[in-house]
Structure 1
Amino acid sequence: MAGTRTPADEAREAVVEAALGKLDLDAKTRLLAGQDMWSLPALPEIGLKSLVMSDGPIGVRGVHWTADDPSIALPSPTALAATWDPALARRAGTLLAQEARRKQVHVLLAPTVNLHRSPLGGRHFEAYSEDPYLTGEIGSGYVQGVQSGGVGTTVKHFVANDAETDRFTVNNLLSERALRELYLAPFEAIVANAHPWGIMTAYNSVNGTTMTEHHHLVNEILRGEWGFDGVNVSDWTAARATVGAVEGGLDVAMPGPRTVYGEALATAVRAGEVEEAKVDEAVRNVLRLAARVGILEGAEPVVTEPPATVDGEALAREIARRSFVLVRNQGALPLGEGRGEGGHKVALIGAAARDARVLGGGSATVFPSRVVPPLDGLTAALPEGSLTYAVGADPNEELAVADRGFTLRAVCRDRAGTVIGTGSAPNGQIQWMGDDLPEGVTHATLHSVELTGTFTPRESGTHTLGIKGLGAFTLTVDGTVHFDDIQRGTKDDPFEAFFGAPVERAQVDLVAGETYEVALRHVIVVPEGAPLKMIGFALAHQDPRRDPDELIAEAVEAARAADTAVVVVATTDRVESEGFDRKDLRLPGRQDELVHAVAAANPNTVVVVNAGSPVELPWREEVAAVLLSWFPGQEGGAALADVLTGAHEPGGRLPTTWGSHAAAPVTQVVPADGELPYTEGVFIGYRAWEKEGRTPSYAFGHGLGYTDWTYESIELGGGDAGAGAGSGTTVTVRVRNSGARAGREVVQVYLAPVEADAERPARWLAAFAGVEAGPGESVDVVLALPRRAFEVWDESTGAWVFVKGSYEVAAGRSIVDRRVAATINV
């Protein structure tokens, strides 16, 4: 299914086999274990260089977790999926390959193609959609783009890694049918369409077996049925047992140097517990990847001439505006011009308008060289004097890493207090993994790290400082010690120091513009037997907390004096992040109250929702427009100005259903006794909303532009739907731009059995395509219905079954806004 080998593939295979034949057992098993946090060891005896991996998916962080090594930050995966444009996803991937080569990275740990099973999933911003077909199409484009640049991908997290609670140990229980029709489907499509060079197996178990040891899902389905011939790498620290992992098809255990492979695997082979042929197969897969990316001597890489250079900032801006979903517009957008003596006055409101949240928390984090917040974007785009700004309400009820106004560096000392090295700390955060330490510093000699420098506040008042991390700390501000004690963890999570919440430790009265000395000293203790050595902590800070009522009152006055009020509301990294799920779908702080108040003062209120996944919008009928901006990447503010002013239309459509927590059909993400049953079966997302007869706030596929579209006709043709993708039935939909300006429409085709079947969804997405047209122009859109759209997984036979009968083929603007339909008998 993954495709036949070309002569170039065969030539690489010959080099791989020759190299494999030169390795002894110890070298082979060493190659399957990370030598550090991000890389595999070089084997000079066969001309193999060290293979380097890096986190994605919105950028390439590289091997250093620091703002000193900046990266392009694209919009979140939910934003990319909202474009409904696989070709744009491919362009994004091409840029990321360019970034990877710049940072000497060979494999990108992305894309994430787990599904939005429940809106409470805390890491959903890093996945694409609730729909497996849309996810597979966007993911295929992304993988094709990255690998067109000669850089490998690892499609993750295989499989059913759809929530964060107890993610290291949870046993997810789900039917074979749900696995096949939903959770495996994006992986299957990407293997077939994009031939990824890697896949990452998840922490969780599926039906009793941890994924790093899952022989059935990895060896029998992924490799056997689908023909996947790439590398299977563990999620970081996920591999638990030497024999179980190698028998289950795991090729690489990350990170190193302490893993279940390496010396432990060689010992198992010598003891007769593992056949060396199993090791050889894993090594063969690693060498094949090395050959493909060009680090195995004698093997020609797949890509010898990288694609043309991509302008990263321009592409980030384009993806952002193409992803924005306008879910409501009562004539407020685009912003009016020339109204009133001083032109059209805009009041911009919201803490996130000034300090934008452009990406989600966790391992998806990268450090862009610049960020354009909405305030800067609109200031540049609007006439001078036409824009005012008010905070209104701050969603950041917790401290954030010390960034704005801080100038810090890291000073490393040994046990005697002697300085043994220094490093920069441009955002008040230390995250050193493995041997990624400042020059001259080793884990053996390092005793303490001190973040030291100055802080110049932008506001006068009582500032709060705190600590993110675990262990012994001393916090000093302007010569006064405010904390000198041990900060302890709250849960058994090896990444808590990195992803946990900061703790308040000091409140200090400071004056704006004055410069103060600050220091945070941390005594380093790496637990004995830890699977990896990590040093992670941060100085945290929060500006003075003004009276919330006063802030809202100021915003109301600003809104009342403006022609249009633009309110930016947002989640925070304590709401949406890797490492935990959401408790509810409410916006943090008093942001809902702010919107209610502003809308009452100015009926021409536009709300921009800066969130990576669904939140409740209790005021949505009170405001004139609602624009979803996701986590829009580094150029988000510039893209927002493009869309609000009408220079470009918002191009996005919802890749997942937005509704209230109370109405959401699937909300169970917390395991009971270590198990999480997927009792809903194949009914997640819009499938579940329709089955339950519930009405969401905004339906899957919904999104408005700045022009109108008329669906004029639908015709079926092209042959037998059972003949397979590419040769099956085609759907031709004629659409006309019936508005006054050029625009882009996403034509969505949904398939529904004419005779209702309680075991199947009422309808499902079967095809989609984007189309552009000028005012009055009609365009024919031709879409193929793949065979899989008519199939279900039969658990009794263990096979896909083509379900004959009559189907409604409907085309329209969303799952609920279907404009034209025809019936097909198959």
Structure 2
Amino acid sequence: MKTHNSTPRAERLVDELTLEEQISLMSGEDFWNVGAIERLGIGALRVTDGPNGARGGGSLNGGTHSAAFPVGIAIGATWNPELVEKVGAAIALETREKGASVLLGPTINIQRGPLNGRNFECYSEDPILTGYLAAAYVTGLQAQGVAATLKHFIANESEIRRTVNSSDVDERTLRELYLVPFEMAIKQANAWAVMTSYNRINGTYAADNKWLISEVLRNDWGFDGLVMSDWFGLRSTKEGAIAGLDLEMPGPALVRGNKLLELVQSGDVPAEMIRAAALNVLRLLERTGDLDNMDERTEIENERDETRSLIREAGVQSAVLLKNVGALPLEGEMKIAVVGPNAKSARVMGGGSAQLNAYRRVSPWDGLVDALGEETLTFAQGCRNDRFEPIIEGTFTRAWFANDALDGEPFKTEEIAALEHFGSAPVEGVDPHNHSSRTTGTWTAPRDGTFRFGFHCTGKGRLFLNDKLMAEAWDSWERGRTLFEEGCDPVTADITVKEGETVDIRFEFATKPNFDLFFHAHQVGVGRVLGMDDIEEAVEVAAAADVAIVCVGRTAEWDTEGWDLPDMTLPGIQNDLVSAVAAKAHKTIVLLQTGGPVEMPWLDQVDAVLECWYPGQEAGYAIADVILGKRSPGGKLPQTFPVKLDDAPTFSGTPQRTYPGEDGRVEYTEKLEIGYRHHSGDGPAPLFPFGFGLSYTTFSLGTPDAELDETGAGSVTLPVTNTGERKGSEVVQLYIAPQTASVDRPAMELKGFAKLALAGGMTDMAKITLSPRDFAYFDVDSQTWKVDAGDYTLRIGTSAADIAHEVTVTIAAQTLHV
């Protein structure tokens, strides 16, 4: 689709709008749309959540089916901008089929530490890797006429109290680390939209931050696109408008509308700022080709074979082989035990606003059955890794009451298939902030055992089993860390039942005032309580096979928006399961699926470890391709894996205010020393370094040739040879280490990389281009980038810790403007 640049038409149209119409374009009409101006034939602007697909207007886990692509950290592990551009183009088609022209993605915040609940959604701990991948994603998306929305701008590296906390970051750190991916995506790919983060930056909310929006984004970088708030993230009428925030989302307006009109009429907000914001909305409509689109927006399902193939390919290229002692790939006839909580559960995506209703969810078991047949496989679950009990499914009746006390006759009664609700208003006509509901039905025990019922909710809740109150958060409700920090922590009750026994369920819910986000939700689940007997069963199954694949990790309940992980330990008793299986199995392969690093106390006991992240809907097929040797694993770590949590930069002797924060402030006291910068300096050695990943073949890096002028402009080339027999890929990484510096600088920083796919015995040239900016630091006093004269070491290798060559270059002093 042809893209559209701004034209005099948009300039003409904005001046044909009344002041009221201009202001109407500065807020959403509803949750996903900015309203049309029918008088002038101006179409509506429709957005959809991303970034690992296009959900459309459905709920977080329902609605129209969509293609689920690998999550951000898996995309980061590919180190492949060319592939990521294809992913962006494919998601653009999905976006259009959901009736939208703006995708809320990519998420390009930096993985500051290992516990951020949204690390899975971000590409990397490194700004250069993130920036190149972000630019590729934006290019692919916008080439199809769909706007990318870079998020979250800026310093949203933790989910704990993210809507109120202040990220206190010095300007140099912002400029050299956290702002870089946004700058690259704007300057290299001309991103059309940016979303501000919820948090404050140095005391000022991002949506109100004039320095951030008007000075850095627009003046320094020349951004001419649209700036929108995160949902309910704009808290002011005047400050946000003055700062240059164009669009308040969602709608209808909470702080704009007539409130903003009054400020313009009183002279407190200049009319020209309203015009500029409305023009930015019109420009975005023009770029997406929707300025004249008055058609009704519909959603369709269209699952493409080529999209499925692309997702599968991306899954293969994201798989990181962390250890392999003669265990992988699996070839020849053998009996394979597939055990663990993630074996038959397809972990294809993370949680929060990135969720969607995937066309399919292929588990590791499904992928291996498809490739080998079920007769060669055995299974045992061993343990669970849920954060919540699985949502109860069946036939239930829910009655809605137009008050918060379950009083009177129901306003509406409906049949539902799962004991959950998520949304702003339950049914039309009920106050979204003052209602209650009663859900009734039955549950039948699938087997003998002890089962745990649990719920969490944004308002008051209580659970009755066989008419007996078993769990309540009604009078005792306290704010916890569920449902985007609007819900209570899980409340549970255990019962022991026989197979086939029926239990009557009644769950009651009532609203209470929200904190920051204006929605209500509840989830009620049940699951069998597993213990050491179940681990012993898994050990027996593993011992009877030739090889055991232990499928462990986390789930979308753990890696999710709205909360941070409590630690780096695998949830539940999964570590016990791995160790027990490794002690008895002939060979043990650990298949990890997580959204970031985990501790591995069993690492020396197992034969192989393969990290597959959340690789999208084709997960099991991509995993089987790698495990069975149809493809070599193509991923490299985009985030350092520390040995233990205390080794991470936000935990190594740092005070409480560094993480998770104190008195409403999170101080980035580590400054530039995150990730591999921390571990490459005086920090502890990591378990697995940034950029690390094994293959089923081997590679050698030939002598590099650095052709740089005295400014640092030029390129570095070197031959790369696949010295094995199998086809595989290697990522050549170039880090720059200043030998002397006038300011504190990290020991080394990634500045370029090249991924090559080579057949056995093949040689090709890797080329990495450098510029003067790659040698510079940001000088806050002069507001320029400065290069110190002197010698710099180019460190070239296959990870931050595996450096094959070092080349010294001499660079002249320079001053570069932003």
Match of 1:353 in 2: 343
Counterpart CA distance in 2 for 1:221 and 1:623 is 49
Q: C-alpha displacement at 1:517, in angstroms?
A: 5.9
The 1:458–1:734 alpha-carbon spacing in structure 2 relative to 1, beyond 3 Å, is farther
3-state SS, counterpart of residue 133 of structure 2: helix
Counterpart CA distance in 2 for 1:396 and 1:91 is 33
Counterpart CA distance in 1 for 2:589 and 2:372 is 16
- 1:785-805 deviation per Cα after TM superposition (whole angstroms, max 9, x unaligned): 133211110122111012332
Give runs of aligned pairs for residues 144-163 of structure 1, distance below 5 A: 144-163=139-158
Match of 1:509 in 2: 497
3-state SS, counterpart of residue 569 of structure 2: coil
Counterpart CA distance in 2 for 1:626 and 1:298 is 51
3-state SS, counterpart of residue 54 of structure 2: coil
**Equivalent of 1:522, from 509, 512, 518?**
509
Is residue 261 from structure 1 mapped to residue 256 from structure 2 by the alignment?
Answer: yes
Match of 2:424 in 1: 433
Q: Which amino acid is 1:503 matched to?
A: V
1:318–1:639 contact (8 Å) kept in structure 2: yes
3-state SS, counterpart of residue 538 of structure 1: strand
Match of 1:663 in 2: 647
The 1:592–1:756 alpha-carbon spacing in structure 2 relative to 1, beyond 3 Å, is farther
Match of 2:187 in 1: 192
Is residue 824 from structure 1 mapped to residue 809 from structure 2 by the alignment?
Answer: yes
Deviates more, 1:468-477 or 1:178-187: 468-477
Q: Which amino acid is 2:336 matched to?
A: V
**Equivalent of 1:722, from 704, 711, 734?**
711
Is residue 373 from structure 1 mapped to residue 363 from structure 2 by the alignment?
Answer: yes
The 1:308–1:56 alpha-carbon spacing in structure 2 relative to 1, beyond 3 Å, is closer
Match of 2:299 in 1: none
The 1:28–1:578 alpha-carbon spacing in structure 2 relative to 1, beyond 3 Å, is same
Deviates more, 1:37-46 or 1:153-162: 37-46
3-state SS, counterpart of residue 352 of structure 1: coil
The 1:195–1:262 alpha-carbon spacing in structure 2 relative to 1, beyond 3 Å, is same
Q: C-alpha displacement at 1:771, in angstroms?
A: 0.9
2:397–2:413 contact (8 Å) kept in structure 1: no
Is residue 70 from structure 1 mapped to residue 54 from structure 2 by the alignment?
Answer: no
Q: Which amino acid is 2:280 matched to?
A: N
Match of 1:691 in 2: 681
- 1:169-225 deviation per Cα after TM superposition (whole angstroms, max 9, x unaligned): 212222211011001111000001111111011111222221111111110110001
5+ residue gaps, structure 1, are: 1-5, 300-306, 339-343
Q: C-alpha displacement at 1:295, in angstroms?
A: 2.2
Match of 1:393 in 2: 383
Counterpart CA distance in 2 for 1:431 and 1:521 is 15
Match of 1:747 in 2: 732
Q: C-alpha displacement at 1:100, in angstroms?
A: 1.2
The 1:738–1:464 alpha-carbon spacing in structure 2 relative to 1, beyond 3 Å, is same
Give runs of aligned pairs for residues 527-546 of structure 1, distance below 5 A: 527=513, 534-542=519-527, 544-546=528-530
1:73–1:368 contact (8 Å) kept in structure 2: yes
Q: C-alpha displacement at 1:475, in angstroms?
A: 3.9
1:122–1:164 contact (8 Å) kept in structure 2: yes
Q: C-alpha displacement at 1:585, in angstroms?
A: 0.8
Match of 1:3 in 2: none
Match of 2:565 in 1: 582
Q: Which amino acid is 1:556 matched to?
A: V
Counterpart CA distance in 2 for 1:400 and 1:309 is 30
Q: C-alpha displacement at 1:444, in angstroms?
A: 8.1
Counterpart CA distance in 2 for 1:47 and 1:817 is 60
Counterpart CA distance in 1 for 2:315 and 2:235 is 40
Is residue 17 from structure 1 mapped to residue 4 from structure 2 by the alignment?
Answer: no
Match of 1:564 in 2: 547
Match of 1:207 in 2: 202
Give runs of aligned pairs for residues 251-400 of structure 1, distance below 5 A: 251-297=246-292, 311-338=306-333, 344-396=334-386, 398-400=388-390
1:345–1:387 contact (8 Å) kept in structure 2: yes
Q: Which amino acid is 2:770 matched to?
A: L
Q: Which amino acid is 1:273 matched to?
A: D
User: Among the aligned pairs, what percent are the same residue?
Assistant: 36
The 1:308–1:352 alpha-carbon spacing in structure 2 relative to 1, beyond 3 Å, is closer
**Equivalent of 1:40, from 34, 39, 42?**
34
Match of 2:117 in 1: 122
TM-score, normalised to structure 1's length? Answer: 0.90
**Equivalent of 2:452, from 445, 464, 472?**
464
3-state SS, counterpart of residue 732 of structure 1: strand
**Equivalent of 1:490, from 478, 484, 488?**
478
Q: C-alpha displacement at 1:694, in angstroms?
A: 1.5
Q: Which amino acid is 1:374 matched to?
A: P
Counterpart CA distance in 1 for 2:320 and 2:586 is 21
Give runs of aligned pairs for residues 219-258 of structure 1, distance below 5 A: 219-258=214-253
**Equivalent of 1:140, from 107, 113, 135?**
135
Match of 1:304 in 2: none
Match of 1:169 in 2: 164
Counterpart CA distance in 2 for 1:421 and 1:288 is 45
5+ residue gaps, structure 2, are: 295-301, 652-657, 812-818
Is residue 682 from structure 1 mapped to residue 665 from structure 2 by the alignment?
Answer: no
3-state SS, counterpart of residue 689 of structure 1: helix
3-state SS, counterpart of residue 354 of structure 1: coil
- 1:42-62 deviation per Cα after TM superposition (whole angstroms, max 9, x unaligned): 211121222122211112121
Match of 2:629 in 1: 646
Counterpart CA distance in 2 for 1:736 and 1:284 is 53
Is residue 551 from structure 1 mapped to residue 551 from structure 2 by the alignment?
Answer: no
Q: Which amino acid is 1:326 matched to?
A: L
Deviates more, 1:207-216 or 1:514-523: 514-523
The 1:662–1:808 alpha-carbon spacing in structure 2 relative to 1, beyond 3 Å, is same
Deviates more, 1:176-185 or 1:416-425: 416-425
The 1:250–1:819 alpha-carbon spacing in structure 2 relative to 1, beyond 3 Å, is same
The 1:296–1:587 alpha-carbon spacing in structure 2 relative to 1, beyond 3 Å, is same
Is residue 702 from structure 1 mapped to residue 695 from structure 2 by the alignment?
Answer: no
Counterpart CA distance in 2 for 1:772 and 1:685 is 27
| Number of equivalent positions | 792
1:46–1:297 contact (8 Å) kept in structure 2: no
Q: Which amino acid is 2:320 matched to?
A: V
Match of 2:815 in 1: none
3-state SS, counterpart of residue 157 of structure 1: strand
Counterpart CA distance in 2 for 1:623 and 1:755 is 43
Counterpart CA distance in 2 for 1:457 and 1:322 is 42
The 1:274–1:77 alpha-carbon spacing in structure 2 relative to 1, beyond 3 Å, is same
1:498–1:537 contact (8 Å) kept in structure 2: no
The 1:254–1:383 alpha-carbon spacing in structure 2 relative to 1, beyond 3 Å, is closer
2:84–2:137 contact (8 Å) kept in structure 1: yes
Counterpart CA distance in 1 for 2:700 and 2:733 is 14
Is residue 673 from structure 1 mapped to residue 668 from structure 2 by the alignment?
Answer: no
Counterpart CA distance in 2 for 1:19 and 1:500 is 48
1:41–1:50 contact (8 Å) kept in structure 2: yes
Match of 1:420 in 2: 412
Counterpart CA distance in 2 for 1:454 and 1:99 is 38
- Over aligned residue pairs, what C-alpha RMSD do you find? 2.8
Q: C-alpha displacement at 1:410, in angstroms?
A: 5.1
Q: C-alpha displacement at 1:424, in angstroms?
A: 4.8
Deviates more, 1:491-500 or 1:344-353: 491-500
Counterpart CA distance in 2 for 1:271 and 1:633 is 52
Give runs of aligned pairs for residues 93-104 of structure 1, distance below 5 A: 93-104=88-99
The 1:281–1:409 alpha-carbon spacing in structure 2 relative to 1, beyond 3 Å, is farther
Deviates more, 1:631-640 or 1:394-403: 394-403
**Equivalent of 2:48, from 48, 54, 74?**
54
Q: C-alpha displacement at 1:347, in angstroms?
A: 1.1
Counterpart CA distance in 1 for 2:12 and 2:760 is 62
3-state SS, counterpart of residue 765 of structure 1: strand
3-state SS, counterpart of residue 555 of structure 1: helix
